[in-house]
Structure 1
Amino acid sequence: MQLGTIDYSYDEKRMILDKADLDLDPERLNVVIGLNGSGKSTLFDVVAGALPADGFHPPFERAEILYQLQQAPLPPMLKGKDLVRLILKSDRTEPFRSLWDTYVASLREQERSRLERLQDLRLGQMSAGEKRWLVIRTVCHLDRTLYIFDEPTVGLDPESRRFVVEAIGALLDRQKIVLLSTHILHEVAHLPCKMHFLHHGKIVYSGSYHAFVARYETDNPDIAFERFLSEQPTA
């Protein structure tokens, strides 16, 4: 799915996105990587329609796009089960009891144990990682066409990270389009994904994870990342 070129700047001095050409693969996770400050969050804001960019139109209506932000504000007094209710009832009319039972049944045994502990806990009492796990695990149950996740595994312990990555990967089985960013390249090594390397506002690489790593004769994606950057012209 070719989205076309995207240009965006906050002022006239510096282009945050400079003819960024994003081509989404509907059958693979689309993973945007790049240095901190490379414009990944701005790119997601534009694709989601949260930031207007001249000449660009979001690929779907806003109601068809789910955009998970890194720092979404949540009421600290809200309990875990109330948060699940708020999310699941946002686009479903079934009784919450039915939605809750379906949601719980979809979780792994370890996750059910965690949910049992968090459901009556206020968000202000949860760790950042617990809240992130709960939010992402729940929003994956919503029915959208495009899902955008901005660094969804930040602050998660290894077990929670695996659960979240699996839940996001399962969206492909439902024929959903997924766009996400990460700095932890190892976590997508065993998932079907297309990588998009954003550097100085441009997409300078689009292709498979394994092709990206193999070109540098290493199985360490961090080394491949570093070597790829060394080949890029300075701004």
Structure 2
Amino acid sequence: MQLGTIEYSYDEKRMILDKADLELDPERLNVVIGLNGSGKSTLFDVVAGALPADGFQPPFERAEILYQLQQAPLPPMLKGKDFVRLILKSDRTEPFRTLWETYVASLREQERSRLERLQDLRLGQMSAGEKRWLVIRTVCHLDRTLYIFDEPTVGLDPESRRFVVEAIGALLARQKIVLLSTHILHEIAHLPCKMHFLHHGKIVYSGSYHAFVARYETDNPDIAFERFLSEQPTA
């Protein structure tokens, strides 16, 4: 899916997105990587329609896009089960009991134990990682066409990270389009993904993870990332 050229600037001095050409693969996870400050969050804001950019039309109506922000504010007094109710009932008309049973059945055994502990705990009492797991695990049950996740695994322990990555990956089986960002390149090594390297507001690489790493004769994506950057012209 070709989204076209995206340009965005907060002022006249510096282009945040400078003719960024983004083509999404509907059959793979689309993973945007890049340095801090490279424009990843701005790119997501524009694609989601949260930030208008001249000449760019979001690919879908807002109701068809789920955009999970890295630090979305959540009501601290809301309990875990009530949060799940709030999210799932925003999309469905079935009784919550039915939605809850389906939701619980989709979880791994370890996740069910975690949910049992978190369902009566207030969001303000949960750790950042627990909230992130609960949020992403829940929103993946909503029915959208495009899902956008801004660094969904940041702050998660290895087990939670695996659960979250599996949940996001399962969206592909439902014929959903997924766009996400990460700084943890190792976690996408075994995922069906297309990488998009954003640098100085431009997409300077689009292709497979394995092709990206192999060009530098290493199996360490962090080394490949560093060597790739060294080849790029300065701003």
Q: Give the deviation of 1:39 after TM superposition.
A: 0.2
Q: SS of the residue aligned with 1:67?
A: strand
Q: Using the alignment, how far apart are the partners of 2:154 and 2:84 within structure 1?
A: 20
TM-superposed CA distance for 1:203, in Å, is: 0.1
- The alpha-carbon deviation at position 86 of structure 1 amounts to 0.6
The superposition leaves residues 104-158 of structure 1 with CA deviations (integer Å, 9 ceiling, x where unpaired) of 0000000000000000000010000000000000000000000000000000000
Aligned-pair distance for 1:49?
Answer: 0.1
- Which deviations, in whole Å up to 9, do the C-alpha atoms of 1:69-118 show, x marking residues without a partner? 00100010000000000110111000000000000000000000000000
Q: Deviations over 1:168-204 (max 9, x none)?
A: 0000000000000000001010010000000000000
**Unmatched runs of 5 consecutive residues or more in structure 1:** none
Q: Identical aligned pairs, as a percentage?
A: 97
2:223 partner SS:
helix
- Gapped regions of structure 2 (runs ≥ 5): none
- The Cα of 1:234 is off from its aligned counterpart by 0.2
Corresponding residue number in structure 1 for 2:214: 214
Alpha-carbon distance in 2 for matches of 1:119, 1:178: 28
Displacement, 1:6?
0.2
1:95 aligns with 2:66: no
Aligned pair count reads 235
Q: Does 1:183 align with 2:207?
A: no
Measure the CA separation in 2 of the matches of 1:63 and 1:169: 21
1:35 CA drift (Å): 0.1
Displacement after TM superposition at 1:230 (Å): 0.2
Partner of 1:169: 169
Q: Deviation above 2 Å: which 4+ runs of structure 1? A: none
- Find out whether 1:228 has 2:223 as its counterpart: no
Partner of residue 112, structure 2 = 112
1:166 and 1:14 mapped to 2: Cα distance?
38
Residues 27-75 of structure 1: per-residue CA shift (max 9 Å, x gap) = 0000000000000000000000000000000000000000000010001
Q: Confirm or deny that 1:3 pairs with 2:9.
A: no
SS of equivalent residue, structure 1 residue 206: strand
Q: Secondary structure at the match of 1:166?
A: helix
Q: Find the aligned partners of 2:208 and 2:60 in 1 and give their Cα distance.
A: 25
Shift in Å at residue 217 of structure 1?
0.2
The whole-number CA distance in structure 2 between the counterparts of 1:223 and 1:49 is 34
The 5 A counterparts of 1:127-142 are 127-142=127-142
Deviation per residue, 1:196-226 (Å, 9 max, x gap): 0000000000000000000000000000000
1:30 match: secondary structure: strand
What SS does structure 1 have at the residue aligned with 2:194?
Answer: strand
Give the Cα separation in 2 of the matches to 1:78 and 1:25: 37
Q: Give distance in 2, aligned partners of 1:149 and 1:24.
A: 14
Deviation string, structure 1 residues 11-40 (Cα, Å, up to 9, x no partner): 111000000000000000000000000000
CA RMSD of aligned residues (A): 0.3
Classify the secondary structure of the residue corresponding to 2:30. strand
Give TM-score scaled by structure 1 length. Answer: 1.00
Could you say what secondary structure the match of 1:207 adopts?
strand
Distance in 2, matches of 1:6 and 1:48, equals 12
Distance apart, 1:166 and its partner CA = 0.4
**What corresponds to 2:24 in structure 1?**
24
Question: How far apart are the structure 1 equivalents of 2:91 and 2:104?
Answer: 18
